[in-house]
Amino acid sequence: MTTAARRRRLRTRLRGERIDVCLITAPVSLRYFSGFIGSTGLLLVTARQATLFLDDRYLEKGRAEARGLTVLPLAGWQDALHQLAANAGRMLTVAFDEADTTVLQARRWQELFPELLWRSRGFALAPLRAVKERDELAAQREAGRRLARAWSAVRPQLAVGMSERQIAGLLDAAVLQHTGAPVPFETIVGSGPHAARPHHSPSDRVLQRGEALLIDMGAAWHGYSVDMTRMLALSPLPATVRRAWRVVAAAQRAALRACRAGVPPRALDLAARRVLRRAGMEAQFTHNLGHGVGLKVHEEPTVGARNHAPLQAGMVITVEPGVYFPGEFGIRIEDTVVVTAHGAEIITPVPREQP
């Protein structure tokens, strides 16, 4: 789907909600609806036209990347919106995504344009990105393949006695080498008790014998990310750790079996929790089963017990059950998958090791 087609889909929504103008500022949404890749800009979408406003640093770049719309200097966007309001002969409704806008910014817009009716409550652009198009899926599959190559280059080098920071540095360098882009989020390397922190930042702690190693990492291709977690046993592990590892692996398999279009995320979450409950570990699973992933690492849909909206073919989600025993150890296994009519297509093809 082209960016023009995405804007048409956005306009259909605007008409259905009786919104005259959509004001877009978030870099991810600018890229999705215009094709422009940059940190600053503003896109005005109306029923008949779309205008991208960029500062002087980005004008030439934007005119090359953003096809089928007008690209103008950023300084003119306020005059353009005032003119739209003046030409309308009535009060226009202008929507913006409240998730991408600060309260201070929203207040400033309302002060600048008292002639407009502003709307943000309940208006979000992220759901429009939830179902991925063919080229988006191709980019994410390629990100997964390149992540696997980076992993294969580093895995033989890992050993007891290395620090978390050292391991993260090797992985980050390998991802950069194989994708040409930095990692899309901070690589998590948790050794021993640090693995019990779901979002641990790598430290100088050294991996000891008898400890499991948790690595949560990602890669991006053409802006689209994948997310993966693997557990490693670089020395023999205690029986309690090995048992928890096997239980989490079984919980992930149960969730993956439940995954297909038409099934709500709640069913996947409950399938994983059922396995953990039988093993007496459900209380140690302290987060949702997963999340959508695409241009942002965390996006629609939420994969948790409270989401009853059916999954759709083309959604890309993570499936990542985990158990955490503070001060002792943690286990998490994660893959990025494409939801299909018949199941889950894993696009992070990195082998899962056995305890």
Query: Taking the domains of the chain in order of start, what are their residue ranges?
Result: 3-128, 134-346
Here the tokens at position 111 are 């002060």
What is the CATH code for 134-346?
A: 3.90.230.10
Contact 355, 245 (CB under 8 A): yes
Contact 322, 330 (CB under 8 A): yes
Contact 216, 334 (CB under 8 A): yes
pLDDT score recorded for residue 339? 98
Using the structure block, give the residue that is written with the tokens 């995405």.
Answer: 6
Overall fold of domain 3-128: Creatine Amidinohydrolase; Chain A, domain 1 (3.40.350)
pLDDT score recorded for residue 62? 95
d(CA 37, CA 3): 13
Whole-number Cα distances in Å, 203 to 158, 162, 330: 16, 11, 16
pLDDT score recorded for residue 1? 66
pLDDT digit string, tens, across residues 217-251: 999 999 999 999 999 999 999 999 999 999 999 99
Q: Which residues, at least 6 apart from 206, have a Cβ–Cβ distance to it below 8 Å?
A: 161, 162, 163, 191
pLDDT score recorded for residue 122? 86
pLDDT tens over the chain, length 355 residues: 689 999 999 999 999 999 999 999 999 999 999 999 999 999 999 999 999 999 999 999 999 999 889 999 999 999 999 999 999 989 999 999 988 999 999 999 999 999 999 998 889 999 999 999 999 999 999 999 999 999 999 999 999 999 999 999 999 999 999 999 999 999 999 999 999 999 999 999 999 999 999 999 999 999 999 999 999 999 999 999 999 999 999 999 999 999 999 999 999 999 999 999 999 999 999 999 999 999 999 999 999 999 999 999 999 999 999 999 999 999 999 999 999 999 999 999 999 999 8
% helix / strand / coil in the chain, to the nearest 5? 40, 25, 35
Strand order of the sheet with strand 224-233?
A: 188-191, 212-221, 224-233
pLDDT score recorded for residue 67? 85
